[in-house]
Amino acid sequence: MPSIEKSKNQHIDNKKMYITFIIIIALIAGIIVFINLVQKNNLGLEVYAPIPEASMEVGDIGNLEIGESIESVNPEAIENPVRPINAPIPTDIFNTSGIILAIQGNSIIVRGLGTNFDDQIKRDLVVLIDENTHVNGVYGDAEYFKKSLKIGDNVSIESPYNIHGKTEFLARYINNIIEE
């Protein structure tokens, strides 16, 4: 009988070993799946960083001097205004639009319409793109950015800070404008 009892104990030990082996494999697979999900969804913690006060100040480009009129600085604005001539321009401007002239490493050059300048002159804008920029609704994907934006595209741009009088700024959102 001792051999039968020894055989049963060995059989029970083999079952325990198989169950332990299966549990270890399941844990490893679960860890691998979790790591892949974290990397794909970029589930990192975002820390709130306040926008510096200097970035909320009005820029110096395109401002009208006291006594200057838009007619003398930009006669084209009288024929084709980007906003009513007599309407005051807001102090804080967070968005603009234009046509992409060039695409560089982490920025695009856009021919702005002049909406963020007092003199309404069209200027080339350097729009910086970082990992927090959404391009056509996709967040922080550099490859998608390169594929989705093309030279000649008409885009709308929103910045996290004031772009009034500035020709270089960071974009938070860039979207293609679909013309019908």
125 against 49, higher pLDDT: 125
pLDDT at 126 over 90: yes
The predicted pLDDT at position 39 comes to: 66
- Strands 134-135 and 173-176, by their bridges, are parallel
pLDDT at 157 over 90: yes
Instruction: For 22-33, write each residue's pLDDT tens digit.
Output: 999 999 999 988
The predicted pLDDT at position 45 comes to: 45
The predicted pLDDT at position 36 comes to: 78
Contact predicate 20/14, CB 8 Å: no
pLDDT at 2 over 60: no
Instruction: For 91-122, write each residue's pLDDT tens digit.
Output: 889 999 999 999 888 889 999 988 888 888 89
CA 124, chain centre distance (Å): 20
Structure-derived torsion over alpha carbons of residues 144, 126, 156, 180, reported in degrees to the nearest 10: -80
The predicted pLDDT at position 84 comes to: 79
Contact predicate 98/111, CB 8 Å: yes
The predicted pLDDT at position 14 comes to: 80
Percent of the chain past pLDDT 90, that is, above it, reads 25
Instruction: For 4-17, write each residue's pLDDT tens digit.
Output: 555 556 666 788 88
24 against 75, higher pLDDT: 24
Instruction: For 33-71, write each residue's pLDDT tens digit.
Output: 888 776 665 544 444 555 566 677 887 887 877 877 777
